[in-house]
Amino acid sequence: MTWYPPGPALLFCPGDRPDRFGKALDRADAAILDLEDAVASVDKERARAEVARAELDPDRTIVRISQTSSPGHADDVAAVRAGGYRCVMLSKSESGDQIRQVAEVIDGVVLALVETPLGVVRANDIAEAEGCVGLMWGSEDLIAAMGGTASRFAYLHAGPGQVPGAYRDVARHARSVVALAAAAFGRWAVDAVRMDIRDEGGLLAEARDAAALGFAATACIHPTQAAIVRRAYEPTEEQVDWARRVLAAAEDGERVVRVDGHMVDGPMFRQAEAILRRIPA
């Protein structure tokens, strides 16, 4: 069994807000029904019941469940099984064994959320695990687990050489590690949410960077972010034109061709193909 994001904008939705489930699917390419951080402890049981009874397209729905060591993990899994969902996001994934066990229990696949120091250093083990279809990384839990206070440089107090709103080096490293592990084992990667919903320009730039690096999607924390992410992943007319000309030039079977005065070879052919794959259906 497998699962692939139907588009680049994945929108989190609290599991205890069934009134928002349909709206999330209307605004984004897929909804992530959250049974973890977005739901208060006193509302967990109700959230599981709402997720279990919701009749949503399993090809466009992911359910985020709590980490395997959480007291509520088994109840989260039961809700997933009752609802017939195919893909879960496992919070604080830290080993391949966790991924395999969860995939087997739900009879589905796992998007591993890597958001702890141990998870980052074990990213390869997680990505290689049977049942893992993708990896996402998270910055805020990671930095908190390290005893830190900020994953990004402050907007008002950034120092010399620091871009306001940009990730600090440890967060950038974790992002790269997760992206590389996913690619190494044929999984897809999801970029982390941008918590400041006011910074639309920052989100657009970050999502464009994610698309250029090969991420399959970017997670959204607010409905307004979905359209921005879609725009970021959609290639420009100039990119599409370049990609088509590159692939047309390669049709003669030559390993190296000349396009716009530049020599283009195999890796560039594959980059051109990746650009065309990002054209919305």
Q: For residue 149, is it within any domain? A: yes
Query: pLDDT class for 249, splitting at 50, 70, 90?
Result: confident
pLDDT at res. 132: 98
At 180, list the tokens.
Answer: 């590389």
Q: For residue 30, is it within any domain? A: yes
Residues 223 and 259 in one domain: no
Residue range of the domain that includes 13: 9-233
Residues 51 and 162 in one domain: yes
Please give the Cα distance from 204 to 9 (Å, whole number): 12
Any residues with CB less than 8 A from the CB of 237 and at least 6 apart, and which? none
Please give the Cα distance from 21 to 158 (Å, whole number): 38
Please give the Cα distance from 174 to 137 (Å, whole number): 7
pLDDT at res. 242: 85
Query: pLDDT class for 42, splitting at 50, 70, 90?
Result: very high
Token pair 């730039």 is found at 205
Q: For residue 254, is it within any domain? A: yes
pLDDT of 164 above 80: no
Helix and strand element counts for the chain (H, E): 12, 10
Residues 59 and 128 in one domain: yes
At 24, list the tokens.
Answer: 């999330």
pLDDT at res. 198: 93
How does pLDDT run across 48-58, given as a tens digit for each residue?
999 999 999 99
Q: Strand pairing partners for 110? A: 88, 132
Task: Report whether 220 contacts 203 (CB < 8 A).
Answer: no
Q: For residue 103, is it within any domain? A: yes
Residues 30 and 118 in one domain: yes
Among the listed ranges 51-55, 111-115, 159-163, 254-258, which one has the minimum average pLDDT value?
A: 159-163
Residues 243 and 208 in one domain: no
Query: pLDDT class for 160, splitting at 50, 70, 90?
Result: low
Backbone dihedral angles phi then psi of residue 127, each to the nearest 5 degrees = -65, -30
Residues 69 and 178 in one domain: yes
Burial 248-263 (b: 16+ CB within 10 A, else e): eebeeeeeebebeeee
Tabulate helix, strand, coil % of the chain (nearest 5): 50, 15, 35
Q: For residue 205, is it within any domain? A: yes
Mean pLDDT, residues 206-233 taken together:
97
Question: Number of folded domains in the chain?
Answer: 2
Q: For residue 23, is it within any domain? A: yes
Residues 171 and 53 in one domain: yes
Burial 67-79 (b: 16+ CB within 10 A, else e): bbeeebbebbbeb
Residues 149 and 130 in one domain: yes
Residues 178 and 159 in one domain: yes
Any residues with CB less than 8 A from the CB of 195 and at least 6 apart, and which? 140, 221
Residues 189 and 226 in one domain: yes
Residues 25 and 55 in one domain: yes
Mean pLDDT, residues 239-265 taken together:
79
Q: Count of CB atoms within 10 A of residue 85's CB? A: 22
pLDDT at res. 246: 83
Residues 171 and 270 in one domain: no
3-state SS, residue 114: strand
Residue 81: which CATH number? 3.20.20.60
Q: For residue 1, is it within any domain? A: no
Q: For residue 155, is it within any domain? A: yes
CA 168 to the chain's CA centroid? 19
3-state SS, residue 12: strand
